[in-house]
Amino acid sequence: MRPYFGEHFGNASSIHHHGQETRAAVERARESVAKLLGCRPAEVVFTSGGTEADNLAIFGLVDPGLVNPGLARPGDHVISSMIEHHAVLNSCKHLEEKGIEVTYLPVDGRGLLYPDDLRRGLRANTKLVTIMFANNETGVLQPVEEFGKICAEADVYFHTDAVQAASKVPIRVKEIGCDLLSISGHKLHAPQGVGALYVRKGTTLEPMLYGGSHERSRRAGTENVAGIVGLGKAAELAVRGLENGEAGRIASLRDRLETTILENVEAAGVNSAGAPRVPNTSNIYFDYIEGEAMVISLDLKGLAVSTGAACSSGAIEPSHVLTAMGLRPDRARASIRFSLGKQNTAEDLDFAIQLVPASVARLRELSPLYNKITAVHS
Ligand code: PLP
């Protein structure tokens, strides 16, 4: 990325050679992202991240024949799920404010959605289905290929938020059968503030920002060249990682983390343990502790974890994902998300495994409820 902050600083829309150099770099990045997703380069629209990609998919789609953006009109119907990221959930809430009815499909205790629920939820006026590929809190992988088939049969647009899936599991947009798919750079070791939306050829998309004809008139504004170059390189490395078994290595670290923690901590469990999951995410509850206190306690010792979605940290509400799975609010509040990455080593794991049980024990000593319960059992 570095040269694109300095010696290669041309505007990719300019005709002079500085511009042409950056244009070529942007197009190379587009090819790399297309390889990661299994699509044509022309089907990739660069955005400022996953949130913009989700918004562009939900608000930018155009009903063929209608001129104005916004596929769904008051009185129309959209299907999503109860466990989406707020980038999708709050977009759907906005659709509701505009008079569009939204059905939020439920999940089971493992955090899985059911294709039959989607089939049953479809109506004659359903215009769009937007369901995530992998959940950001639990890592659960949803049956997106089945959703794609159902939407194709019903002739309804299908968007999937693949922000947490990209680089963790292979993505082939043709096999999923989606019309739109979002990714975000910072989830695959690219910088923050860059992402992309796959837009299937022939899908009419109106821009949300009006301006120049960048990104084939689908996203106006001078490109974030360095960010896009970073996303392209990250996509290239992700393809290599998926081919050389990196996911298996990360999954075995994750499994060791879970097994050892559960062996050493009572009244704890893995949320979504029984569901197919991305290899790097683990969501564990530790009854009788406050998740926020645990995050602070571990952070002071050098281990960064989170409660629920990072974006809602600070909010006192328990995670909407865990409560949708049927967790009691106190257990949802006592849940911690551990995220692993390709740089993590076995030594990092040893560090975490030794730290977590000690932290839980210390916090439980301060918990009046835990002390009452252990007093009853002893
Ligand atoms: N969708 C999911 C599933 C996410 O996890 C995130 C970010 O955490 C987003 C969308 C938003 O992406 P960004 O932060 O790039 O806007």
- Residue 336 in tokens: 């911690």
**Coil, helix or strand at residue 183:** strand
64 burial class (0-12, 13-18, 19+ CB within 10 angstroms)? exposed
352 burial class (0-12, 13-18, 19+ CB within 10 angstroms)? buried
Q: Which residues line ligand 1 (CB under 6 A)?
A: 49-51, 54, 85, 87, 132, 136, 161, 163-164, 184, 195
CA–CA distance, 115 with 56 (Å, rounded to integer): 25
DSSP string, 96-130: HHTT-EEEEE---TTS---HHHHHHH--TTEEEEE
Ligand 1 center from residue 194 Cα (angstroms): 11
Buried b (16+ CB within 10 A) or exposed e, 245-254: ebbebbbebb
Q: Report the atom number in ligand 1 closest to the C-alpha of 311.
A: 8
Ligand 1 center from residue 87 Cα (angstroms): 7
In this structure, is the dihedral angle defined by the CA atoms of residues 45, 91, 313 and 269, taken in order, positive or negative?
negative
Catalytic residues: 311
Residue-wise pLDDT tens digits, 155-200? 999 999 999 999 999 999 999 999 999 999 999 999 999 999 999 9
Per-residue pLDDT tens listing for the chain (378 residues): 999 999 998 899 999 999 999 999 999 999 999 999 999 999 999 999 999 999 999 999 876 655 555 666 788 999 999 999 999 999 999 999 999 999 999 999 999 999 999 999 999 999 999 999 999 999 999 999 999 999 999 999 999 999 999 999 999 999 999 999 999 999 999 999 999 999 999 998 889 999 999 999 999 999 999 999 999 999 999 999 999 999 999 999 999 999 999 999 999 999 999 999 999 999 999 999 999 999 999 999 999 999 965 444 555 689 999 999 999 999 999 999 999 999 999 999 999 999 999 999 999 998 887 877 777 766
DSSP string, 136-147: TTT-BBP-HHHH
Ligand 1 center from residue 323 Cα (angstroms): 20
Q: Report the atom number in ligand 1 closest to the C-alpha of 135.
A: 3
Q: Report the atom number in ligand 1 closest to the C-alpha of 136.
A: 5
